[in-house]
């Protein structure tokens, strides 16, 4: 390759002739049209593993069109939430806290008691903690449906089963 006297490039360098790659940004309307429904069976699965998979799908990180500031995720149905498990001594040691706002109003409930009374609460809080803490995160949580048994009212949406 010959060097031209007035060329603006150093010796050995060739100017780029191709067009640079553009960043893809998913449009919200296109993301809504491509939404699917997924079922995760939580029977005998670790709580964190189920929650991580659900948060990834809700956020849309499993798609090639993932855009951080756009809701590109799908709907997630979690069934058999009352049979989710924790490892080791965590069923005895893990507590869920509520505060009434009054002095002495802190209430702690163990996982064993919560899973009997409200089987969807541990999964709901675990997934919510893995999502962004902003308007987008609050919007993503509305696409999460959790049921304590294997029955759910979303058969018309034809959800697909995910194996963990």
Tens-place pLDDT, residues 39-86: 999 999 999 999 999 999 999 999 999 999 999 999 999 999 999 999
Written as six digits, the tokens of 54 are: 């659900």
At residue 16, the pLDDT reads 66
Q: Is residue 100 part of a domain?
A: no
Q: Which domain holds residue 47?
A: 28-87+115-162
Quote the number of domains for the chain.
1
Answer whether 111's CB lies under 8 Å from 122's CB.
Answer: yes
Q: Is residue 7 part of a domain?
A: no
Q: Is residue 83 part of a domain?
A: yes
At residue 4, the pLDDT reads 53
The domain that holds 73 is classified in CATH as 3.90.1180.10
10 Å CB burial of residue 119 (0-12, 13-18, 19+) is buried
Q: Is residue 109 part of a domain?
A: no
Q: Is residue 95 part of a domain?
A: no
Tens-place pLDDT, residues 76-121: 999 999 999 999 999 999 999 999 999 999 999 999 999 999 999 9
Of 87, 91, 83, 86, nearest to 43 (Cα)? Answer: 83
At residue 121, the pLDDT reads 97
């Amino acid at each position: 390759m010959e060097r031209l006297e007035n060329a603006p490039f150093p010796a050995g360098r060739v100017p780029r002739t191709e067009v640079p790659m553009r960043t893809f940004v998913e449009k919200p309307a296109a993301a809504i049209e491509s939404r699917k429904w997924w079922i995760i069976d939580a029977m005998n699965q670790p709580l964190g593993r189920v929650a991580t998979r659900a948060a990834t799908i809700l956020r849309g990180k499993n798609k090639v069109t993932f855009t951080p500031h756009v809701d590109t995720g799908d709907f997630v149905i979690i069934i058999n939430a009352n049979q989710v498990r924790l490892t080791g001594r965590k069923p005895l040691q893990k507590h869920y806290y509520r505060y009434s706002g009054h002095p002495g109003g802190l209430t702690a409930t163990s996982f064993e008691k919560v899973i009997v009374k409200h089987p969807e609460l541990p999964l709901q809080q675990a997934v919510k903690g893995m999502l962004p803490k902003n308007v987008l995160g609050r919007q993503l949580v509305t696409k999460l449906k959790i049921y304590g048994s294997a029955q759910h009212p979303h058969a018309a949406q034809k959800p697909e089963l995910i194996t963990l």
